[in-house]
Amino acid sequence: MDAEPIVKVSGLRKRFGTLEVLKSIDLEVRRGEVIAIIGKSGSGKSTLLRCVNGLEQFQVGALTVDGQALRHHDKAAMRALRQHVGMIFQSFNLFPHLSVGANVMLAPSLVKKRGKPEGEAQAKKLLARVGLAEKFEAWPDQLSGGQQQRVAIARALAMEPAVLLCDEITSALDPELVGEVLRVVESLAEEGMTLLMVTHEMNFARKVADRVVFMHAGRIHEMGPPAELFAAPQTAELQQFLGALH
């Protein structure tokens, strides 16, 4: 483990108009760590992830990823940062007019100026890694939701990110498809990928996360190893949240 955290969030505050959605967030993530972020809707979980990859601007505080400080006014710095951070969303956001392989190859060819043979080889390798080796030529609308989400994971990995952000990536899926996506994420965790996941899947968080972060009303309310957090919640808010799930 590196001594220097790969993601460092200090005193982060984010407002939408007068509504403060993040109220002084401090979080350090070590390389290779899997962090599950849980909490009710509106607690600021997704906004925190969107701040980490630069999709949302924050008003106060500092954020560094892989040694790169996040500076919104500096376009070159933002481009560099986004090459270090992959993000997978609830909706798969695949380009419908591009084949599965072309979806995976698009960003590296544009950003890293990767040649076609090299890009194809990498895309095939990544599709095999998410269990979709045979879908290179397929179109997104020929795939199930779970398969589309696995293509979205392959596409994020194509940029070789240092950190992968997952924003409720199973919540738009039918229940029987959730497992196939979580198995891919679990294999990435085993390979040492740094992961920040907003998730409703508590069993998955319990099994795979190194630490669980419980957010409530824009703050990190509790944080710790899953066994501790789930077995002995320290606050009424977390007790209530966990109680409502059963």
Segment 1-40, tens digit of pLDDT: 456 899 999 999 999 988 999 999 999 999 999 999 999 9
Complete DSSP assignment for 77-112:
HHHHHHHHEEEE-SS----TTS-HHHHHHHHHHHHS
Q: Tell me which residue has tokens 């409720």.
A: 168
pLDDT of residue 53 exceeding 90: no
Residues 152 and 142: beta-carbon distance below 8 Å: no
**pLDDT surpasses 60 at 233:** yes
Question: By percentage, how much of the chain surpasses pLDDT 90?
Answer: 65
Give the pLDDT score at 2. Answer: 53
Angle between helices 100-111 and 116-129 (to 10 degrees): 130
Phi-psi region of 24 (alpha: psi -120 to 50; beta: other; left: phi over 0): left
Predicted TM-score of the model (pTM): 0.91
Unique residue bearing structure tokens 């009424």: 236
pLDDT tens digits along 100-130: 999 999 877 776 677 778 888 899 999 999 9
Q: Is 183 left (phi over 0), alpha (psi -120 to 50) or beta?
A: alpha
Instruction: Please state, in angstroms and rounded to a whole number, the distance separating the CA atoms of residues 225 and 83.
Output: 29
| C-alpha distances in Å from residue 151, one per residue of 77, 203, 232 | 28, 24, 37
155, 157, 162, 168 alpha-carbon torsion, rounded to 10°: 70
3-state secondary structure of 44: coil
Helix (H, G, I), strand (E, B) or coil at 166: strand
Residue 137 has pLDDT above 80, yes or no: yes
Cβ–Cβ under 8 Å, residues 101 and 124: yes
Distances (CA, A) of 220 to 20, 48, 233: 14, 11, 13
